[in-house]
Structure 1
Amino acid sequence: MRILQALFFPPEQPGGVSSMVPFMLERFNKRGWEMELFSLPKRVRGKGGEEVHFSTFDWEPYAGNPVVDKYIQTIKDYIWWTKLRIKSSYDLIHAHHPIAGLVMKRLFPDTPLIMTIHSSYERELKLNGKISEDGPEYQFLTSLYRELEEKADQLITVSNSFKQYLSDYVQEPEKIGVIPNGFDEKRFRPVHHENQVPQLISVCRLVPAKGLDTLLYACAELKRKGLPFVLHLIGDGPIRPELEALAQKLGIYDDTIFYGYMLHPEDFMPFFDVFVLPSRAEAFGSVFAEAALCGLALVGTRVGGIAEQIEHGVNGLLVPVDDVAALAAALEKVAGDPMYRYQLSRVALEKALKSYSMTRIVQQLRSVYRSYRKDA
């Protein structure tokens, strides 16, 4: 059975789907499956020129909005690149981005398509202040979910909460499957260590949706109380200058290290104590599972897939979104009590190994793939 894994970002990109799928593919190929990866290189821009049409809505009324125009052009580019590069046929295509899924079904209409929706582009843009919920860009992007439902043979998403979110935009939400992201457990090695000063770490793109401003205010509250810490921020993004300026304003710049982009943060993470990310929305929140596999205690917000990964007080702590006082209290509790922190991290590791190991996800996907075998 020949299967194509169709990504949007190239597989060498760090984080989330782009780093997960190659490990998944390796597991399948070692077991005798025939799988290949495909993605759109970043250098391919403005190449495609074919007309784009959808069967469930008319996108033309949204034309002229930069977000929509860029999205449509990217679909055209993906069509151009796919026609140029793919010359063979496949028994099944598994797409991991709406553009990849829509293009693959357009060019290979007789090939079964599984579509995993990993995140919500419109929510990210809204939280990052780029679009409004009542604007044309939001309407265009949410209309794509119904189009995907129409075109894909199977829709899958990564958490029950995100399935619930999608239910507002599709006709048969009960048919959406849920398979969480999986992680190659061999990449993560918890390290026994004793830090005299609690080491806090966050790994993400530096954008408003991640709530890092709330984290800096919470850390300033820790310092005001005389509680020592070091905050390590791994990642880069458009609001890095603002966050650095805020850290200086709050008097915690000397306690905060901005690392910028890092290719393999999992090599670094096991030497810290607490992973914290006060996101304002997450479809799944892959980095929490990765942090748990590194042996860290977890602190997150009660949103989306984070709240499905963390059971409050059992394998981590949950706080409301944008609640500085609650986040500061949670950090004080977990950072100030090494035994409590160890207990949380131990349970978090056990749950991550059980629920999010690559072995389990491969088993779930294998069952889905086999249902589309021609000889089944």
Structure 2
Amino acid sequence: MSLQDSAHVSGGQHRVSSALANLHALGVRHAVMQAGMSTASGPKLAGAVSAVGGIGTLGLHDVSVWESVIEQTKAEAQGRPMCANLLLPYTRRRHVEILIRQRVPMVTLFWGHAPQLIRQLQSHDVFVFQQIGSEEEARKALDAGIDGLIVQGLEAGGHVRAQARLETLLPRISELSAELPVFAAGGVYSAKDAAHAVALGADGVCSGTRFLLTPESHIHEAYRQRLLDADSTMLTHLFGLGWPDLHRVVPNAATDRWCDEDGAIPTWLHRLNAAFSFTRKIVPMKAGIAKAQQPGRPFFSPALMDSHMPAELVEATALYAGEHIARIRRLESAANVVRELARGLEAGNNQVAVSG
């Protein structure tokens, strides 16, 4: 979908979204966002998505390399605008200072409420998205003056803020924010999914899992293959040392050892994870304990398995993936994923125009 032709349904009326026009003015061609997934969405992936006209999002990296990975992403984006993800529990002041100095035009915020940060970024002409998982979070973000919303459904992979499925939550959020762009996240893998998101009230789509399964994502080949072979996922708190919140993963030996059929972990293990929450702002965002993780040892960090880790860690690290992972059985280039999702958005908007 070209943003010049983008449209939205609100209260039964067909309208052109002024906020999407603002994104078009930044240089974005397609309302297709690749989710910021820590080191998995490094410069190669984020740059490839931006280069083809989508919104490529650099995942949050340790502050020691933050400026260099932003510069690399800009180079990969070939003059197109990039986005950067600020995972709020791990964001430091230096992350923000570097973003502003590097003139990054778009930022996504996740896992928290930061009205002062929103105002700070906007004062430097940064377009700020907030990813939310409930109406309450959406209202807070709107009250804080957010520029755009990403609505996460319960189907999503990784850390799950959502309290309902996209089918239920998205139409309600869309009605709340008629003047702002609303992107749908959670199980959006194909053109058909994107068209359906438009029917639910979305202006654009955001996908993580589909972009994980591209050659450009910075994940270990063993992790990539495990996702291609996966038939199911589970919601659990297992990989929560320092970040004891719910996440969706593909099962492995660690989940077999410590989780019950519903993904629940022993109470003492959940408390252990919570006890290390203080480390989020003082410990560098590096592999650390992840490289020493073993299925039988109850210390599991949120770190995902990047290409630098040993292959055997596929049984002991978080294999983040969306609920409908079994629908993806092959790799596609990041550019092809953007184009397919954009076709779906265009089809959905054409259908809206006809029915409207």
Smaller-chain TM-score bracket? 0.3 to 0.5
Q: Which has the higher contact order (CA 8 A, sep 6+)?
A: 2
The higher radius of gyration belongs to 1
Q: TM-score, normalised by structure 2?
A: 0.38
Q: TM-score, normalised by structure 1?
A: 0.37
